[in-house]
């Protein structure tokens, strides 16, 4: 299995790489700054919102591997935390560019490779914000809703070619990026970081944050033959969100 993961240098993407490698896959990760990866992995420094960079990446993938079995379009940024009237257009564009346009470009250049071999799986990383929305996160939520729309379209368009597409919607994932979200949200709401953290956890049925490995395990399943007829699905890995914006 040949697997390409965008934003695979850390966080969820790195966990995906580890999980696929453990399943016996060949792993290729991209990121803005890939400093070190495990032995046996391939890596590229790529800006996912640059079409020329993405075109060159997929050309290299085709030349090196001859095709692609699984694309995990995982690149994303948190974007600003602010009331909609306070969001700068530049911040909106930056968030949508990475989260949505990056996924589009990855799918655009993966599709021809998969069509030629008559098979493939595309796994897009969305978010529970792409299901419910989220106050003070307009750019991020809009982009992640867009990712789900893109996935649904890919599933319909590429299904006749033997290609599946699904979206994973992680909830609050432990890690440095989430710590930044907690800090910005605490400042915006006049709360402490711990209060915001507790609010997120209490907003789920399982009263828990998600680990990157939980999301990675779902990606491996969706990329495997065990999910051969799973396509067009929005799958939350979130401990079941009951309230996306709980107030303590």
Query: Is residue 84 scored above 80 in pLDDT?
Result: yes
- Are residue 165 and residue 198 in the same domain, yes or no? no
* pLDDT computed for residue 247 by the predictor: 61
What domain count does the chain have?
2
Residues 108 and 223 in one domain: yes
Q: Name beta bridge partners: 235.
A: 168
Q: Are residues 57 and 107 in the same domain?
A: yes
**Mean pLDDT computed over 233-248:** 85
Same domain, 126 and 42: yes
Of residues 81 and 230, which shows the higher confidence score? Answer: 230
- Name the H helices within 203-245: 212-223
pLDDT of residue 43: 97
Task: Give the model's pLDDT for residue 228.
Answer: 97
Residues 140 and 204 in one domain: no
Please answer whether residues 108 and 55 qualify as being in contact, where contact means their C-beta atoms are separated by less than 8 angstroms.
Answer: no
Residue 104 has pLDDT above 80, yes or no: yes
Query: Within a domain: residue 35?
Result: yes
Is residue 244 a part of any domain in this protein? no
Q: Judge whether 24 lies within some domain.
A: yes
Range of the domain at 201: 175-208
Residues 123 and 181 in one domain: no
Is 47 within the bounds of a domain? yes
CATH label of the domain that carries residue 100: 3.40.50.720
Are 185 and 77 within one domain? no
- Nearest-CA neighbor of 73 among 91, 58, 60, 83? 58
187 & 218 share domain: no
Residue 38 sits in the same domain as residue 54:
yes
Separation of alpha carbons 89 and 147, rounded Å: 20
Minimum mean pLDDT among 122-136, 196-210, 230-244: which range? 196-210
> pLDDT by residue (tens digit) across 110-148?
999 999 999 999 999 999 999 999 899 999 999 999 999
- According to DSSP, the residues that pair with 164 across neighbouring strands are 121
What 3-state class would DSSP assign to 121?
strand
Q: Is residue 248 part of a domain?
A: no
Residue 243 lies in a domain: no
Are residues 131 and 162 located together in one domain of the fold? yes
Residue positions annotated with a catalytic role: 140
Q: Which of 10, 110, 22 is nearest to 70 (CA)?
A: 110
Residue 123 maps to a domain: yes
Predicted confidence at residue 246, as pLDDT, reads: 66
Question: What's the count of helices (H) and strands (E) in the chain, helices before strands?
Answer: 9, 7
Dihedrals φ, ψ of 28, to 5°? -130, 120
State whether 231 and 179 are in the same domain. Answer: no
What is the pTM (predicted TM-score) of this model? 0.92
| Residue 179, pLDDT score | 86
In a domain, 246, yes or no: no
Q: Does residue 206 register a pLDDT over 70?
A: yes
User: In Å, how far are 10, 76, 159, 194 from 135, measured between CA atoms?
Assistant: 27, 18, 35, 19
Helix (H) or strand (E) holding 70: strand 70-73
Q: 196 and 163 share a domain?
A: no
């Amino acid at each position: 299995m040949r697997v390409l993961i965008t934003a695979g240098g850390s966080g969820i993407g790195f966990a995906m790489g580890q999980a696929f490698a453990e399943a016996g896959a060949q792993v290729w990760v991209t990121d803005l700054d890939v400093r070190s990866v495990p032995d046996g992995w391939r890596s590229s420094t790529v800006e996912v919102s640059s079409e020329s960079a993405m075109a060159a990446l997929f050309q290299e993938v085709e030349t090196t591997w001859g095709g692609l079995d699984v694309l995990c379009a995982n690149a994303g940024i948190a974007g600003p935390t602010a009331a909609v009237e306070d969001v700068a257009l530049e911040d909106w564009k930056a968030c949508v560019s990475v989260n949505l346009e990056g996924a589009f470009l990855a799918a655009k250049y993966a599709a021809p490779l998969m069509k030629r071999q008559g098979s493939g799986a595309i796994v897009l990383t969305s978010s529970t914000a792409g299901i419910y929305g989220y106050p003070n996160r307009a750019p991020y939520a809009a982009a992640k809703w867009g990712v789900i729309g893109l996935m649904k379209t890919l599933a319909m368009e590429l299904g006749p070619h033997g290609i599946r597409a699904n979206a994973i919607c992680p909830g609050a994932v432990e890690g440095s990026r989430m710590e930044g979200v907690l800090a910005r949200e605490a400042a915006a709401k006049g709360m402490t970081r711990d209060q915001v953290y507790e609010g997120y956890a209490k907003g789920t049925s399982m009263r828990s944050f998600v680990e990157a490995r939980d999301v990675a395990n779902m990606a491996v399943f969706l990329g495997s033959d065990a999910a051969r007829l799973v396509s067009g699905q929005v799958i939350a890995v979130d401990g079941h969100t009951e309230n996306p914006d709980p107030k303590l």
